[in-house]
Amino acid sequence: MLNNFYNYKIIEISDEKLVANITLNKDHKVYKGHFTEMPVTPGVCQIQMLKEILSIELNKKLNLISAKDIKFLNMINPTETNELYLEIKLSILENNDIKVNGLMSAEGKKFLKIRAVFAEC
């Protein structure tokens, strides 16, 4: 999805935190089917963006293995909001899995909150 559906720029990165700005491609074909009159960024795409950014920045191919909470708090209409802020707090577990608390937002409006665990595949 990177470079076609969205692009991102890292703002901050450390062992415990990753912060990025995401720019959505409002003309992507996903929005023609989801939905033409009122485009909405699918939840699965939001999670995929988080996973891809995390994988790239950690230089590890990751899979989502568990999710304690996934909350889609508001719809993302890319014609109204195509610049997103992603903040991921992370910690490495004893088995090297990565525990994540993530928030996707824009201008004070929250879109996605997630508490999950990713594993290297």
Q: Which numeric CATH code is attached to 6-120?
A: 3.10.129.10
Q: What Å distances lie between residue 100 and 20, 30, 31, 67, 117, CA to CA?
A: 15, 26, 28, 9, 6
For the chain, domain boundaries:
6-120
Q: Residue 80, SS3?
A: coil
Q: What average pLDDT values come out for the chain (121 residues) when binned by 10 residues?
A: 93 97 95 87 97 97 96 97 97 97 97 98 92
pLDDT attached to residue 1: 84
**E strand or H helix that includes residue 55:** helix 43-58
Look up the pTM and report it. Answer: 0.95
Sheet with 6-13, edge to edge strand ranges? 6-13, 17-24, 83-92, 98-106, 109-120, 62-72
